[in-house]
Amino acid sequence: MGITRRTFIKASMATATAAAVGLPVSQAALAAAKTMENDWRWDRGVCRFCGVGCGIQIATKDGKIVATKADPDAPVNRGINCIKGYFNGKILYGKDRLTKPLLRMKDGKFSKQGDFVEVSWERAFDEMEKQFRKAYSELGPTGIGIFGSGQYTIQEGYAAMKLMKAGFRSNNIDPNARHCMASAVAGFIQTFGIDEPAGNYDDIEHTDTAILWGANMAEMHPILWTRIVDRRSKHPNMRIVNLSTYSNMSSDMADLEIIFRPSSDLAIQNFIAREIIKRDAVNWDFVKKHCVFATGPYDIGYGMRNNSDFAFKKEMDTQAEQRMHTLDKFEAIGQRRKPGTKVPQDAQAKPGAHWLIEFEEFKKGVEPYTLDFVAELAKGDADESLDQFKAKLQELADLYVDAQRKVVSFWTMGFNQHQRGTWVNEQAYMNHLLLGKQAMPGNGAFSLTGQPSACGTAREVGTFSHRLPADMVVFNPKHRKTSEDIWHLPKNTLNPKTGSHITKIMRDLEDGSIKWAWVQVNNPFQATANANHWIKAARKMDNFIITSDGYPSISAKVSDLILPSAMIFEKWGGYGNAERRTQLWREQVPPPGEARSDVWQILEFSKRIKLKDVWGEQKVPGLKAAGFTDGKMPNVLNGARKMGYKSDDTLYDVLFAHERNKKFAWPDPIANGHDNHTVDLLGDGWFVEKALFEEYAQFGRGHAHDLADFNLYFHKDVRGLKWPVVNGK
């Protein structure tokens, strides 16, 4: 049977429309669609556009993705895609895809002021290595940095983190997830002692109330929103509340819309806490069993530089707030001071400090947050009367306090990019814990995620400047020892000093204390606030910046070397979503031209650096830790020799291509006929992505972060697994 493209499209549209409205589909239309798909290869994957983690199906033909659709068996999205999901294939085929390395050159040599010229990978790595050695020789581990990402695959983040921390002995790696999730992480760690949401998306189908705190889920997380709306349509007791600084699409289906003044959500949270106490609604059985009361300093500054040396003239007044803040009348009431009082920001060095208090002191702390006070402070709609706003706040408190009502609170960047983001995250947990409405079906405070693996990679893998895998941290001696044991490193290889976070890496470029930086799966020179500072630093200072990307982003354009990266389904990978669900996928199509996976780039570059280059004594200004000489990382080469290493061994040999990893051989039946360009290019026959995943998983198994075996994620009936995985479930 012959079929034209036009006929197929018409038949497909008719089929989809008929199916959507429940009409029978003609056999001819079904046959036409099936004929067109005869030589397509279908496999499953996961959407790369946000942290929801929707499952998709991918069709390929002749080395190209020809279709994507929602996976009907995916428990997250249940056969539905939002508009973003349909672009998973299309994003690979833009006309401006990067396909060759580009180096700034003039007269045949690298020049900071030169134009981009196509070069070979060998030439690109030659210059990258030369500039690395220059910066490392001058400044040591603190003179280099990596801009990581919440869009890293699990294997990419793990490889980058291990190369930096175990190889280069530098903690100057930090993801763009610092911008969007640091507040959430700090809130989790301070409240529960462990990172990541305790709830599940399935809470939606069990709750009576969805309260959105600055999260426009209808537009930003539309798949979860469809589940909330579906629950609203089927459950007569279900209510939706949308708290926002402006009306948005989520308000259309909300039973209650509360428009508040920016940053006043903290006061609203305290009002709810006061109401819980006032109405004698504290769940004391729950609180006494699971909770303590704590507080911390309020004079913590605003995360800016402590001096104005680099501030532009128009920034001076804002910069001054970092050192001294003048209280307005509302802040004065909250702090029991007079309006206009100037408060030195003395607790900047330890903003996370906290100490235990008694319930009576906590009660006293929220006492000023009366309905009258909070309404005057928080009302954000000029056209709404104060009495109307008060009635809405009262209704909000009623919903939370009702002992028979289950409540899920959702938030994302509204909280997390807040000037007091950690505080407001903790306040959300505060109220759920006071009520005993936490970590139960239909009850819980739920931190949503914006990037596809901000949870599963940026946080869990440990790509932050203070972290190691599975919630461990670099400044804890026991955590360093555990990591050194798993990685087979000599004692004191790992650096105990917290590195520069992503904004400080930018500041370090600006003041010249970092001179070599690698951007991976990230666009920080566009996405980081005050970009005018960082772009100027990239172009004017004595540094060398590399950007690995699929497209010529702003960060690529301000760099000195651009490396063309394979994109999502041009490589093997995995993500972890906001409900702790880990999902892996196979390489579906080859990358274009000379584009290569980020894993290959990391491992290939590691072949150029030897133990003797980085494991000798290194200066680390400010390092002060037990077992270390102040300001120095020790020479660990003797310890390395005792472990069977040679000083001429490369970091590739010691960190990656060791015998423990090489036992994962390629080809592997789990590939099911799919290629692996990373393995082919490395050329030594080990299944890189599987080996990295299994090594990483050792950190979490038995420590409440248990991942399943790599192969289980590819089973026919598995659509990702939420950790901790217990007995394969």
Element (H, E) at 244: strand 239-244
Our answer to whether residue 45 is catalytic in this structure is no
Determine contact, residues 297/350, Cβ cutoff 8 Å: yes
C-alpha distances in Å from residue 380, one per residue of 383, 386, 481: 9, 10, 51
Encoded tokens for 436: 């005993």
Encoded tokens for 371: 């309905």
Determine contact, residues 85/54, Cβ cutoff 8 Å: yes
Q: What is the pLDDT of residues 635-650, one digit of tens each?
A: 999 999 999 999 999 9
Our answer to whether residue 451 is catalytic in this structure is yes
Q: How far apart are CA 486 and CA 699, in angstroms?
A: 8
Give which of 490, 514, 512 is closest to 502, Cα–Cα. 514
**Structural domains of the chain, with CATH:** 2-93 (3.30.200.210), 102-176+452-654 (3.40.50.740), 183-296+354-447 (3.40.228.10), 303-346 (no CATH)
Q: Could you tell me what percentage of the chain is helix, strand and coil, using 3-state DSSP and rounding each to the nearest 5?
A: 40, 15, 40
Q: How far apart are CA 370 and CA 311, in angstroms?
A: 39
Determine contact, residues 650/609, Cβ cutoff 8 Å: yes
Give which of 358, 417, 369 is closest to 266, Cα–Cα. 369
Burial of 455 (0-12, 13-18, 19+ CB in 10 A): buried
- pLDDT for residue 27 is more than 80: no
Q: How far apart are CA 299 and CA 270, in angstroms?
A: 18
pLDDT tier at 1, thresholds 50, 70, 90: very low
pLDDT tier at 24, thresholds 50, 70, 90: low
Among 58-67, 225-234, 332-341, where is mean pLDDT lowest? 332-341
pLDDT confidence of residue 289 = 97
Contacts of 619 (CB under 8 A, 6+ apart): 140, 142, 631, 632, 633
pLDDT tier at 9, thresholds 50, 70, 90: very low
Encoded tokens for 654: 């010691």
Q: Give the position of tokens 């349909």.
A: 86
Catalytic residue, from 180, 217, 291, 633: name it: 180
φ/ψ region of 702 (left if φ > 0, alpha if ψ in -120 to 50, else beta) reads left
Cβ-based neighbour number of residue 532 at 10 Å: 8
Our answer to whether residue 450 is catalytic in this structure is yes
Give which of 507, 657, 555, 586 is closest to 149, Cα–Cα. 555
Determine contact, residues 585/556, Cβ cutoff 8 Å: no
DSSP assigned state of 297: -
- pLDDT for residue 69 is more than 90: yes
pLDDT, average across residues 464-485: 97
Q: What is the pLDDT of residues 353-396, one digit of tens each?
A: 999 999 999 999 999 999 999 999 999 999 999 999 999 999 99
Contacts of 6 (CB under 8 A, 6+ apart): none
Length of the chain: 729
Contacts of 707 (CB under 8 A, 6+ apart): 582, 693, 696, 697, 700, 701, 721, 723, 725
Determine contact, residues 322/305, Cβ cutoff 8 Å: yes
Q: How far apart are CA 335 and CA 338, in angstroms?
A: 9
Tally of CA atoms within 13 A in the half-sphere of 229 that contains its CB: 14
pLDDT confidence of residue 4 = 56
Q: What is the pLDDT of residues 681-716, one digit of tens each?
A: 999 999 999 999 999 999 999 998 999 999 999 999
Q: What is the pLDDT of residues 263-307, one digit of tens each?
A: 999 999 999 999 999 999 999 999 999 999 999 999 999 988 988
Determine contact, residues 108/129, Cβ cutoff 8 Å: no
- pLDDT for residue 23 is more than 70: no
- pLDDT for residue 219 is more than 80: yes
- pLDDT for residue 119 is more than 50: yes
Catalytic residue, from 450, 550, 574, 700: name it: 450
Kindly report the average pLDDT of the chain as a whole number: 94
Catalytic residue, from 50, 220, 304, 413: name it: 413
Determine contact, residues 580/197, Cβ cutoff 8 Å: yes
pLDDT confidence of residue 7 = 53
Q: What is the pLDDT of residues 131-179, one digit of tens each?
A: 999 999 999 999 999 999 999 999 999 999 999 999 999 999 999 999 9
Burial of 488 (0-12, 13-18, 19+ CB in 10 A): middle
pLDDT confidence of residue 13 = 47
Our answer to whether residue 84 is catalytic in this structure is yes
Amino acid type, 291: C
Catalytic residue, from 322, 427, 438, 451: name it: 451
Q: How far apart are CA 548 and CA 561, in angstroms?
A: 9
Amino acid type, 95: K
pLDDT tier at 194, thresholds 50, 70, 90: confident
Q: Select the more confidently predicted residue: 183 or 616.
A: 616
Determine contact, residues 550/97, Cβ cutoff 8 Å: yes
Among 23-37, 99-113, 554-568, where is mean pLDDT lowest? 23-37
Cβ-based neighbour number of residue 31 at 10 Å: 13
* Phi, psi (rounded to 5 degrees) for 291: -130, 155
Amino acid type, 67: A
Tally of CA atoms within 13 A in the half-sphere of 615 that contains its CB: 27
Element (H, E) at 689: helix 688-700
The residues with which 2 forms a beta bridge, in sequence order, are: none
pLDDT confidence of residue 419 = 87
Q: Angle formed by the axes of helices 386-401 and 371-378, to 10°?
A: 120
C-alpha distances in Å from residue 119, one per residue of 108, 109, 126, 508, 566: 11, 11, 11, 29, 17
Amino acid type, 220: M
Amino acid type, 184: A
The residues with which 239 forms a beta bridge, in sequence order, are: 209
Our answer to whether residue 413 is catalytic in this structure is yes
Our answer to whether residue 249 is catalytic in this structure is no
Chain centroid, CA 397 distance in Å = 32
pLDDT tier at 52, thresholds 50, 70, 90: very high
Catalytic residue, from 181, 217, 304, 472: name it: 181
- pLDDT for residue 339 is more than 90: yes
Q: How far apart are CA 209 and CA 623, in angstroms?
A: 49
Determine contact, residues 719/74, Cβ cutoff 8 Å: yes
Amino acid type, 286: F
Chain centroid, CA 501 distance in Å = 14
Report the SS3 class of residue 591.
coil
